Amino acid sequence: MNYAKTALLLAGLTGLFMAMGYLLGGQSGMLLALVIAGATNLFAYWNSDRMLLGMYGAQEVNRATAPDLYDMTAHLAARAGLPMPRLYIIHEEQPNAFATGRNPENAAVAVNTGLLNLMSREEVAGVIAHELAHIKNRDTLIMTITATVAGAISMIANFGMFFSGSRENNNQGPGIIASIALMILAPLAAMIVQMMISRTREYAADRLGGEIVGNPLWLASGLQRLEQGVHAIPNARAEYNPATAPLFIINPLSGERMDNLFSTHPNTGNRVAALMQQAQAMGIRDGSYNGLRGGGSEAAQGGPWGAARGVSFLPEGFSSGRRRGPWG
């Protein structure tokens, strides 16, 4: 059902884009819309991950520089049936994370230093599992296309007066009033569709992430901690680039903008409630590990990656300066 809903919403967004091109420029406008959509999507398909990671100053790490975080991610990726993604850390005090990449073979997971400083190992594992679920579901590509088409609609809206003037002289289409209405309503409609697609994919990633990590309660706890951190700590780079907000596990703009009425993320309380129901269905009543191998002995150690207390995920030079969580 989630996939069908996403496909329907993507079709609606594409239809809005084409209709806007046609209404503003007739057949030539629709053709121009096709050219713009094709060019922007092709560019985004090949370059969106590098652009996004560069935008946030992400630094790649490996087993030598971040062994605990790398090994945890590798283990969870294996559980998910995915190749090991590229792993990045961002110097940012707001706790958050995102995944990007056009397919599982070219994917990347980025986590903020604020998240690694604040959260327990179990919560970090839940967040990483959620991002791997996005990769497995190919949401990173879906959201890139969605953001690109929505951005193209806004760009075409900015040229609405030009198209309307040309067509009005030829008595071929909507006049100045209709064009102004399109300039206002089309980007708003695109934003709402983008919001609906993102919310649908977040619920799906939460559920699959709970399965991958073995205990949905870990992710539920992580979401609650992230929500608190995001409200307490602003993310300046996200504020300057609001189109990237749907990619994060928690909306980085929360509490900072009036347009949060149209938030691209589901209510965190609803997400937590869904994860708690999932845990109950899996027979889980607490935070103990419920993975596919190792059961009790691994639970006693804190998880399958040997969660010894006092071990930090952050390599040298990556501390954000904030107090670390209970495992740091």
Catalytic residues, by residue number, are 131
- State both tokens at 299: 């639970």
Q: What whole-number distance in Å separates Cα of residue 128 and Cα of residue 122?
A: 10
- Phi and psi at 88, nearest 5°, equal -130, 150
* Position 149, amino acid: V
Q: What whole-number distance in Å separates Cα of residue 139 and Cα of residue 204?
A: 10
User: In sequence order, what DSSP letters do the residues of 53-108 get, joined into one string?
Assistant: HHHTT-EEE-TTT-HHHHHHHHHHHHHHT-PPPEEEEE--SS--EEEE-SSGGG-E
Q: What whole-number distance in Å separates Cα of residue 212 and Cα of residue 216?
A: 9
Asked if 7 and 196 count as a contact pair (C-beta separation under 8 A), the reply is no
Q: What whole-number distance in Å separates Cα of residue 83 and Cα of residue 131?
A: 13
- Phi and psi at 295, nearest 5°, equal 30, -115
Q: What whole-number distance in Å separates Cα of residue 198 and Cα of residue 168?
A: 37
Determine how β-strand 97-100 pairs with β-strand 86-90. unpaired
In this structure, the number of other CB atoms found within 10 A of the CB of residue 102 comes to 18
Q: What whole-number distance in Å separates Cα of residue 89 and Cα of residue 99?
A: 12
* DSSP one-letter code for 248: B
- State both tokens at 23: 């209404």
Asked if 196 and 260 count as a contact pair (C-beta separation under 8 A), the reply is no
* DSSP one-letter code for 324: P
What does the angle CA 130 – CA 132 – CA 135 come to, to the nearest 5 degrees?
120
